[in-house]
Amino acid sequence: MYGKNAQGKTNLIESIYYLSHLRSFRTHQFKRLIRQGQETMSIQADVETRGRSCQIRVAAVDQKKHLYYFQNPIHKYSDFVGIVNAVLFCPDDLMLFNQSPRYRRHFVDMELIKLSKTYTMTMSHYQNLLHRRNAALKQDPPDRLLIETFTEPMIKDEVIIMKQRAAFIERWMQKVHEIYPFFSDREEIFDAKYRTFVKEIKDPESELKKIYEQSYEKDCRYRQTQYGVHKDDFLFLLNGEPLQETASQGQKRSCLLALKLGLAEIIHEQTGEYPILLLDDVFSELDDHRKRQLAECLPSEMQIFITTTEPVDPAWFAGRHVHTYEVEHGSLKEVHV
């Protein structure tokens, strides 16, 4: 899809993403999802997945979501999320490298939640325990026995979370190491490291107990849990140096694209199907050489939506069946390039 700015290209990308995640990547304000002057919004799609066709719909009335599968209501979000699986690249994702560790944790957690129900349940349980432990630390005076009743199960959750995060990063980087050379002519090495507060992830339980014992007085002084997986980080490196300090904007885009394509490969391995790949304004700040390299490395079995301001040469896509649409004032018109 191509067209001038503010014509509605990203709206279509956002709609597909919303069907996959039940949230927008552009805004946290629900009212901004509804056209000005309207009271409701609706997204409907015909989907083919695992060899079957289905129709799904999301409608929003009074800021409440209503989910449908073949017009039948779905009451649990978990039964809807995953019918459509989409991986998104958008310019705002470049903040992954520059923002606080919280942003990177959220990014990794969202991917793990889609891939592992164990991770989802463990993370939810841990966050509940952390909230209760912090509330206990705010009591005057703190009740050490009560705090320890939250600490012990927290440690068991953290062992699971750390091991899954470490395994995911290792698996993810294996895919990225195969993909990134397409963008760098094999001259650069892109990598990521999991940074946690425990040195030995293989057997961390005893070390975790020691850390919480040693930090108890500090936790009480600040009335908050100072150590835990809720403060982990993920360090991205280009040729062994912190990426956010050394990489150009073009290199950052290439690295981010390699990360997204690596995620798509992991999803394909785990589910047997490629996700839909959403590339919003993907070619900005890439030279023609890197644009062509990106087009050539996209899996031919993957459905891809690309938005640009100018038409893209279909020859870049190595025989793939390409539809080109011009977007103007929210309307799509197929064109032949």
Confidence at residue 108, expressed as pLDDT on a 0 to 100 scale: 92
Beta bridge partners of 66: 59
Confidence at residue 196, expressed as pLDDT on a 0 to 100 scale: 93
Query: How many residues does the structure list for the chain?
Result: 337
Confidence at residue 144, expressed as pLDDT on a 0 to 100 scale: 95
The ranges of the chain with pLDDT < 50 are none
Tell me how far apart the alpha carbons of residues 131 and 127 are, in angstroms, rounded to a whole number: 6
C-alpha torsion angle, residues 121, 201, 222, 134 (rounded to 10): 20
Nearest to 22 by CA among 48, 62, 54, 60: 60
Q: Where are the chain's structural domains?
A: 95-272
Chain centroid, CA 276 distance in Å:
13
Tell me how far apart the alpha carbons of residues 123 and 161 are, in angstroms, rounded to a whole number: 7
CATH class of residue range 95-272: mainly alpha
Phi and psi for 205 in degrees, rounded to 5?
Answer: -60, -45
Confidence at residue 337, expressed as pLDDT on a 0 to 100 scale: 65
Confidence at residue 281, expressed as pLDDT on a 0 to 100 scale: 85
Q: Where are the beta strands (DSSP E) in 196-270?
A: 233-238, 241-242
Chain centroid, CA 149 distance in Å:
33
Confidence at residue 181, expressed as pLDDT on a 0 to 100 scale: 86
Binding residues: 3-10
Binding residues for ATP: 3-10
pTM of the predicted structure, to 2 decimals: 0.86
Q: At what angle do helices 205-214 and 144-179 cross, to 10 degrees?
A: 130
Confidence at residue 313, expressed as pLDDT on a 0 to 100 scale: 78
